[in-house]
Amino acid sequence: MSRFFVILFLLLAICSYAGNVTIDGDNKNISVGFNLGVKTEIIEKRYDNNALQVAIKGEYDINADQIWNQHINKIIYSKNNGITNIRIVLEDKPEKYDVASTDNGFVAYFNFKEKVSEPPTGGGTFAKMIFSILIILAIILIFYWLIKMFMKKTYMSDIPGIGRSLGKIDLMPGRSIIFYEIKNIVYMFGLSGDSIALLDKIEDENVIDAIKTGFSKKQDFSSYFRFFGDKAIKEEIEVSSTIIKDKVESLKKRN
Protein backbone atom coordinates (compact mmCIF):
# COMPACT_ATOMS: atom_id res chain seq x y z
CA MET A 1 0.00 0.00 0.00
CA SER A 2 2.80 2.40 0.86
CA ARG A 3 4.38 1.84 -2.53
CA PHE A 4 1.11 2.81 -4.19
CA PHE A 5 1.04 6.16 -2.37
CA VAL A 6 4.67 6.83 -3.30
CA ILE A 7 3.97 6.15 -6.96
CA LEU A 8 0.81 8.28 -6.83
CA PHE A 9 2.74 11.13 -5.21
CA LEU A 10 5.41 10.99 -7.90
CA LEU A 11 2.79 11.02 -10.64
CA LEU A 12 1.08 14.04 -9.11
CA ALA A 13 4.41 15.81 -8.75
CA ILE A 14 5.25 15.20 -12.38
CA CYS A 15 1.83 16.36 -13.52
CA SER A 16 2.00 19.52 -11.47
CA TYR A 17 5.55 20.38 -12.59
CA ALA A 18 5.67 23.65 -14.52
CA GLY A 19 8.53 23.90 -16.98
CA ASN A 20 10.78 26.95 -16.82
CA VAL A 21 12.00 28.95 -19.79
CA THR A 22 15.46 30.53 -20.02
CA ILE A 23 16.87 32.81 -22.69
CA ASP A 24 20.59 33.15 -23.40
CA GLY A 25 22.66 34.83 -26.10
CA ASP A 26 23.33 38.24 -27.60
CA ASN A 27 21.69 40.55 -30.10
CA LYS A 28 22.39 38.17 -32.96
CA ASN A 29 22.22 34.63 -31.58
CA ILE A 30 19.83 33.52 -28.84
CA SER A 31 18.71 30.21 -27.40
CA VAL A 32 15.39 29.60 -25.67
CA GLY A 33 15.59 26.64 -23.30
CA PHE A 34 12.50 24.80 -22.06
CA ASN A 35 13.27 22.88 -18.83
CA LEU A 36 10.45 20.35 -18.54
CA GLY A 37 12.22 17.86 -16.23
CA VAL A 38 12.31 15.05 -18.79
CA LYS A 39 13.69 14.45 -22.24
CA THR A 40 11.06 15.36 -24.82
CA GLU A 41 10.17 13.99 -28.20
CA ILE A 42 9.73 16.73 -30.83
CA ILE A 43 6.86 15.90 -33.16
CA GLU A 44 6.81 19.03 -35.33
CA LYS A 45 8.67 22.33 -35.78
CA ARG A 46 7.83 25.03 -38.31
CA TYR A 47 8.04 28.81 -38.77
CA ASP A 48 4.79 30.52 -39.65
CA ASN A 49 3.43 34.08 -39.35
CA ASN A 50 6.45 35.45 -37.51
CA ALA A 51 6.34 32.65 -34.92
CA LEU A 52 8.05 29.31 -34.35
CA GLN A 53 5.60 26.46 -33.76
CA VAL A 54 6.89 23.44 -31.79
CA ALA A 55 4.84 20.36 -30.95
CA ILE A 56 6.18 17.88 -28.37
CA LYS A 57 4.83 14.57 -27.14
CA GLY A 58 3.24 14.76 -23.71
CA GLU A 59 1.29 17.40 -21.87
CA TYR A 60 3.34 19.96 -19.95
CA ASP A 61 2.72 23.23 -18.15
CA ILE A 62 5.12 26.01 -19.12
CA ASN A 63 5.81 29.08 -17.00
CA ALA A 64 6.61 31.79 -19.58
CA ASP A 65 4.51 34.75 -18.44
CA GLN A 66 7.48 37.00 -17.60
CA ILE A 67 9.65 36.07 -20.57
CA TRP A 68 10.80 39.00 -22.68
CA ASN A 69 13.63 39.66 -25.13
CA GLN A 70 14.26 42.23 -27.85
CA HIS A 71 13.65 39.49 -30.43
CA ILE A 72 10.90 37.59 -28.58
CA ASN A 73 7.44 39.04 -28.08
CA LYS A 74 5.80 36.26 -26.06
CA ILE A 75 5.58 32.50 -25.57
CA ILE A 76 2.21 30.74 -25.44
CA TYR A 77 1.30 27.07 -25.25
CA SER A 78 -1.67 24.72 -25.32
CA LYS A 79 -2.23 21.05 -24.44
CA ASN A 80 -4.47 18.64 -26.28
CA ASN A 81 -4.66 14.85 -26.72
CA GLY A 82 -1.27 14.15 -25.17
CA ILE A 83 0.54 16.85 -27.17
CA THR A 84 1.85 20.25 -26.05
CA ASN A 85 1.93 22.94 -28.72
CA ILE A 86 4.32 25.82 -28.04
CA ARG A 87 4.30 29.05 -30.02
CA ILE A 88 7.29 31.43 -29.75
CA VAL A 89 6.17 34.78 -31.18
CA LEU A 90 9.11 36.80 -32.54
CA GLU A 91 9.65 40.50 -33.13
CA ASP A 92 11.92 39.92 -36.14
CA LYS A 93 12.21 37.21 -38.73
CA PRO A 94 15.26 35.03 -38.02
CA GLU A 95 17.79 34.17 -40.70
CA LYS A 96 18.07 30.64 -39.26
CA TYR A 97 16.32 28.60 -36.58
CA ASP A 98 16.48 25.09 -35.14
CA VAL A 99 14.97 23.00 -32.34
CA ALA A 100 16.78 20.20 -30.48
CA SER A 101 15.86 17.85 -27.62
CA THR A 102 17.80 17.91 -24.36
CA ASP A 103 17.85 15.67 -21.29
CA ASN A 104 15.52 18.10 -19.49
CA GLY A 105 13.32 19.28 -22.37
CA PHE A 106 14.30 21.06 -25.59
CA VAL A 107 16.04 24.20 -26.87
CA ALA A 108 15.11 26.53 -29.73
CA TYR A 109 17.97 28.34 -31.48
CA PHE A 110 17.61 31.56 -33.47
CA ASN A 111 20.06 33.49 -35.61
CA PHE A 112 19.05 37.07 -36.37
CA LYS A 113 20.54 39.62 -38.72
CA GLU A 114 22.66 42.01 -36.71
CA LYS A 115 21.06 45.43 -36.49
CA VAL A 116 23.34 48.19 -37.71
CA SER A 117 22.92 51.35 -35.72
CA GLU A 118 22.03 54.27 -37.95
CA PRO A 119 24.33 57.28 -37.81
CA PRO A 120 22.88 60.32 -36.08
CA THR A 121 20.92 62.48 -38.48
CA GLY A 122 20.48 65.58 -36.34
CA GLY A 123 22.14 67.90 -38.87
CA GLY A 124 20.20 66.46 -41.79
CA THR A 125 16.94 66.69 -39.88
CA PHE A 126 17.59 70.33 -39.00
CA ALA A 127 18.41 71.15 -42.63
CA LYS A 128 15.22 69.43 -43.80
CA MET A 129 13.20 71.37 -41.23
CA ILE A 130 14.69 74.70 -42.40
CA PHE A 131 14.08 73.77 -46.03
CA SER A 132 10.45 72.84 -45.26
CA ILE A 133 9.91 76.16 -43.47
CA LEU A 134 11.34 78.06 -46.46
CA ILE A 135 9.06 76.15 -48.83
CA ILE A 136 6.02 76.97 -46.67
CA LEU A 137 7.00 80.65 -46.53
CA ALA A 138 7.46 80.71 -50.31
CA ILE A 139 4.01 79.18 -50.82
CA ILE A 140 2.47 81.73 -48.44
CA LEU A 141 4.16 84.61 -50.29
CA ILE A 142 3.01 83.28 -53.65
CA PHE A 143 -0.58 83.00 -52.42
CA TYR A 144 -0.35 86.50 -50.95
CA TRP A 145 0.92 87.87 -54.26
CA LEU A 146 -1.80 86.08 -56.25
CA ILE A 147 -4.52 87.35 -53.92
CA LYS A 148 -3.10 90.86 -54.11
CA MET A 149 -3.05 90.76 -57.92
CA PHE A 150 -6.56 89.34 -57.98
CA MET A 151 -7.83 92.06 -55.66
CA LYS A 152 -6.20 94.71 -57.83
CA LYS A 153 -7.91 93.41 -60.92
CA THR A 154 -11.28 92.92 -59.29
CA TYR A 155 -11.35 96.17 -57.32
CA MET A 156 -14.33 98.17 -58.57
CA SER A 157 -15.00 95.38 -61.04
CA ASP A 158 -17.59 95.61 -63.75
CA ILE A 159 -21.23 96.03 -62.76
CA PRO A 160 -23.28 93.95 -65.24
CA GLY A 161 -25.43 96.18 -67.45
CA ILE A 162 -24.27 99.43 -65.79
CA GLY A 163 -20.56 100.11 -66.10
CA ARG A 164 -17.01 98.86 -66.13
CA SER A 165 -13.61 99.75 -64.76
CA LEU A 166 -11.21 101.11 -67.39
CA GLY A 167 -8.06 101.15 -65.35
CA LYS A 168 -6.14 102.35 -62.36
CA ILE A 169 -3.18 104.69 -61.82
CA ASP A 170 -1.06 104.51 -58.67
CA LEU A 171 0.07 107.98 -57.57
CA MET A 172 1.97 106.84 -54.50
CA PRO A 173 1.74 103.98 -51.99
CA GLY A 174 -1.81 103.89 -50.69
CA ARG A 175 -3.20 106.47 -53.16
CA SER A 176 -4.62 105.67 -56.57
CA ILE A 177 -7.02 107.01 -59.20
CA ILE A 178 -9.58 104.71 -60.76
CA PHE A 179 -11.27 105.45 -64.10
CA TYR A 180 -14.78 104.01 -64.20
CA GLU A 181 -17.15 104.19 -67.17
CA ILE A 182 -20.91 104.34 -66.69
CA LYS A 183 -22.84 104.69 -69.94
CA ASN A 184 -21.10 107.52 -71.84
CA ILE A 185 -19.39 109.13 -68.86
CA VAL A 186 -16.04 108.32 -67.27
CA TYR A 187 -15.80 108.96 -63.54
CA MET A 188 -12.48 109.48 -61.78
CA PHE A 189 -12.42 108.12 -58.24
CA GLY A 190 -9.67 108.81 -55.75
CA LEU A 191 -8.70 105.88 -53.56
CA SER A 192 -6.82 106.63 -50.35
CA GLY A 193 -6.61 103.89 -47.76
CA ASP A 194 -10.17 102.78 -47.03
CA SER A 195 -11.84 105.91 -48.43
CA ILE A 196 -13.09 106.59 -51.96
CA ALA A 197 -13.96 110.04 -53.34
CA LEU A 198 -15.31 111.23 -56.69
CA LEU A 199 -12.66 113.50 -58.23
CA ASP A 200 -14.03 114.32 -61.64
CA LYS A 201 -16.28 113.13 -64.43
CA ILE A 202 -15.39 113.25 -68.11
CA GLU A 203 -18.08 113.65 -70.76
CA ASP A 204 -15.99 114.66 -73.78
CA GLU A 205 -16.20 111.74 -76.23
CA ASN A 206 -12.74 112.38 -77.70
CA VAL A 207 -11.13 112.40 -74.27
CA ILE A 208 -13.07 109.28 -73.26
CA ASP A 209 -11.96 107.45 -76.41
CA ALA A 210 -8.36 108.45 -75.80
CA ILE A 211 -8.50 107.23 -72.19
CA LYS A 212 -10.04 103.92 -73.26
CA THR A 213 -7.39 103.50 -75.94
CA GLY A 214 -4.63 104.29 -73.50
CA PHE A 215 -5.73 101.71 -70.97
CA SER A 216 -6.49 99.01 -73.53
CA LYS A 217 -3.22 99.46 -75.41
CA LYS A 218 -1.18 99.76 -72.22
CA GLN A 219 -1.94 96.16 -71.31
CA ASP A 220 -0.49 94.66 -74.47
CA PHE A 221 1.45 97.37 -76.28
CA SER A 222 4.71 95.44 -75.78
CA SER A 223 3.34 92.51 -77.78
CA TYR A 224 2.36 94.88 -80.58
CA PHE A 225 5.88 96.25 -80.68
CA ARG A 226 7.38 92.78 -80.66
CA PHE A 227 5.37 91.40 -83.57
CA PHE A 228 4.56 94.44 -85.69
CA GLY A 229 6.86 97.26 -84.57
CA ASP A 230 4.20 99.78 -85.61
CA LYS A 231 5.22 103.35 -84.76
CA ALA A 232 1.67 104.60 -85.17
CA ILE A 233 0.48 102.40 -82.30
CA LYS A 234 3.26 103.69 -80.08
CA GLU A 235 2.35 107.29 -80.88
CA GLU A 236 -1.33 106.56 -80.17
CA ILE A 237 -0.45 105.16 -76.75
CA GLU A 238 1.74 108.15 -75.96
CA VAL A 239 -1.10 110.54 -76.84
CA SER A 240 -3.56 108.63 -74.66
CA SER A 241 -1.06 108.50 -71.81
CA THR A 242 -0.50 112.24 -72.10
CA ILE A 243 -4.23 112.93 -71.78
CA ILE A 244 -4.48 110.74 -68.68
CA LYS A 245 -1.41 112.38 -67.15
CA ASP A 246 -2.84 115.83 -67.83
CA LYS A 247 -6.03 114.89 -66.02
CA VAL A 248 -4.07 113.62 -63.06
CA GLU A 249 -1.88 116.74 -62.94
CA SER A 250 -4.92 119.01 -63.07
CA LEU A 251 -6.41 117.16 -60.11
CA LYS A 252 -3.18 117.57 -58.17
CA LYS A 253 -3.13 121.32 -58.82
CA ARG A 254 -6.81 121.60 -57.84
CA ASN A 255 -6.07 119.99 -54.47
Look up the CATH number of domain 13-111. Answer: 2.60.40.3470
3-state secondary structure of 228: coil
The pTM for the full model equals: 0.40
78, exposed or middle or buried, with CB in 10 Å at 0-12, 13-18, 19+? exposed
Domain extent listing, the chain: 13-111, 152-254
Q: What is the DSSP letter of 170?
A: E
Q: How far is CA 116 from CA 92, 113, 119, 139, in A?
A: 14, 9, 9, 39
Helix (H) or strand (E) holding 245: helix 231-254
The whole-number mean pLDDT for each consecutive block of 10 residues of the chain, a chain of 255 residues, reads: 50 53 82 89 90 92 75 87 91 89 91 67 74 93 82 52 75 81 85 81 86 67 42 47 59 55
Q: What is the pLDDT of residue 55?
A: 93
- pLDDT for the residue 122: 55
Angle (CA) 204 206 212, round 5°: 100
pLDDT of residue 142: 93
Q: What is the pLDDT of residue 243?
A: 57
pLDDT of residue 233: 41
Angle of helix 231-254 versus helix 205-227 axis, rounded to 10: 140
- pLDDT score, position 200: 85
Per DSSP, the three-state class of 38 is coil
- Cα 4 to the center of its chain, rounded Å: 74
